[in-house]
Amino acid sequence: MQYYATVDSIRPDSIAEELGIVPGDTICEINGRRIADFLDYQFLTASEEIVLKVQKQDGSFIEFEIENEDMEDLGIGFSKMLFEPAKSCSNQCIFCFIDQLPPHLRQSLYFKDDDSRLSFLYGNYVTMTNMLPKDVDRLIEYRVSPVNISVHTTNMELRKEMLKNRHADRVMDYIRMLADGGITMNMQIVLCKGINDGKELTKSLRDLASFAPFAASVSIVPVGLTRYREGLYALEPFTKEDALAVVQQVEALQQQFIKKIGSRFAYVSDEFYLLAELPIPPAEAYEDFPQIENGVGMEASMEEEFIAALEEEPETGNPGKTVIATGVLAYPFIKKLVDMAKKRYTNLEVEVVSVENSLFGGGVTVAGLLGGRDLLARLQGMPMDRLLITESMLKADEPVFLDDVTVEELEQSLKTVLVPCRNDGYDFLEKLLGREGFPYHENDDII
């Protein structure tokens, strides 16, 4: 089956508008090459001479020869970044979170993507097991950077066992190809107790650091375990003592990396620090926050922004009674920020509430995985004018929680207004002070 790029929008006064291209038309080929994704489109239109093959909505085809000496963007918008289905994951990872999802969630949540294009376009981490050398060459040709790679271990026999894929040993060859091609990489290790930790972790981090500076960073995150693991590989949760050992191990390696490559390189996730009951390192310990999209250094970044926002002394709006619902893990941190704000704004009426995760089980403590029913069960009957949550609880393009409870349903049940916040200290203070301007369902900028 052939997949093509359907035009979603046209920028006014653009080349595409001048050519008469309209939403609903299809871009079939650029310079004789079929485009499979937005990367193809960007690369092939970055040319002074473009031949654009377009299919109109009546089925007819038109070829446009475009002289574009100024390398101007054509002005074509697409609703999707991939014009064909994403590559699904070919692994059976022993730690796969999707295998641990509860039943009866929306079907899209059960799809396992492992597409290198999504690594660049959306920041997804990919294992590279379903890639061929020609796919890596394409990333290098298109200068796709950074590429986010789930490595987990540089012991290739162990990696094949962890991913349950005989092709899992290709990753180091591909990392070498990308480094030789000048492509920046961020890596991830999902740490599993007794499997890829300890000496294996030290080996992996040292091996990956040998590809610096193109190997820019590695995050170490604990395996997520839900209560839906019947029949799956027996994995143990990390204890407080385990987490402390991981933090100490990586921090010692950081000092070695600073001397050798001028960077800490390896970063432990916030969850390990919180589990170990250690303070989160200051913002400067995360350098330029290379793993912020993976949640590493999120609290340090948010606190730094929040303090800076407080120093600007913004005026309060009229927030009324505000409840902030968060996960067990983030509760102490969010309460600390709120207490800072209360010292400056003594009339603030705010209560921070810790919500247990019944959707996935008590072992999952991050706020972004709370379901709408978790919030309803915990907050029912609490008087409030507004409810603040992290926007990561909601679907990216729709006001719906993981368990399909809608924002409207939650607002009606709790008789309140929902205010999602970005994981950003400035945005959090603005929402806390009631300066958001519009309720969630009327403010497109929040989605």
* Residue ranges per structural domain of the chain: 5-78, 98-295, 303-446
In whole angstroms, what separates CA 369 from the centre of its chain? Answer: 13
With CA atoms as reference, report the closest residue to 253 among 242, 271, 266: 266
Q: What is the pLDDT of residue 175?
A: 97
Q: Which long-range contacts (CB under 8 A, 24 or more apart) does 36-39 make?
A: 36/3, 36/82, 36/83, 36/84, 37/81, 37/82, 37/83, 37/84, 37/117, 37/121, 38/78, 38/81, 38/82, 38/83, 38/121, 39/117, 39/120, 39/121, 39/142, 39/144
Helix-strand-coil split of the chain, %, nearest 5: 35, 20, 45
Tell me the CATH number for domain 5-78. 2.30.42.10
Could you say which DSSP state residue 322 is in?
E
Amino acid at 99: D
Q: What is the pLDDT of residue 11?
A: 93
With CA atoms as reference, report the closest residue to 222 among 268, 277, 280: 268
For domain 98-295, give the fold: pyruvate-formate lyase- activating enzyme (3.80.30)
Q: What's the rounded Cα separation, in Å, for the pair 84 and 2?
A: 8
With CA atoms as reference, report the closest residue to 70 among 1, 110, 15: 15
Please, are residues 327 and 369 in contact by the beta-carbon 8 Å criterion? yes
* Fold: same for 5-78 and 98-295: no
Q: What is the pLDDT of residue 44?
A: 85
First to last CA, the chain: 33
Q: What's the rounded Cα separation, in Å, for the pair 330 and 349?
A: 20
Burial (CB count within 10 angstroms: exposed 0-12, middle 13-18, buried 19+), residue 169: middle
Q: What's the rounded Cα separation, in Å, for the pair 106 and 85?
A: 18
Question: Which run of H or E residues covers position 162?
Answer: helix 156-163
Ordered per-residue pLDDT tens for the chain, 447 residues: 456 788 999 999 999 999 999 999 989 889 988 888 888 888 888 888 899 999 998 889 999 999 988 888 899 988 877 777 666 778 889 998 888 888 877 766 656 666 555 555 556 888 999 888 998 998 898 888 899 999 999 999 999 999 999 999 999 999 999 999 999 999 999 999 999 999 999 999 999 999 999 999 999 999 999 888 888 899 999 999 999 999 999 999 999 999 999 999 999 999 999 999 999 999 999 999 999 888 899 999 999 999 999 999 888 888 899 999 999 989 999 999 999 999 999 999 999 999 999 988 867 888 888 999 999 999 999 999 999 999 999 987 789 998 989 999 999 999 999 999 998 999 999 999 998 643 333 333 322
CA angle 220, 222, 94 (to 5 degrees): 110
Could you say which DSSP state residue 103 is in?
T
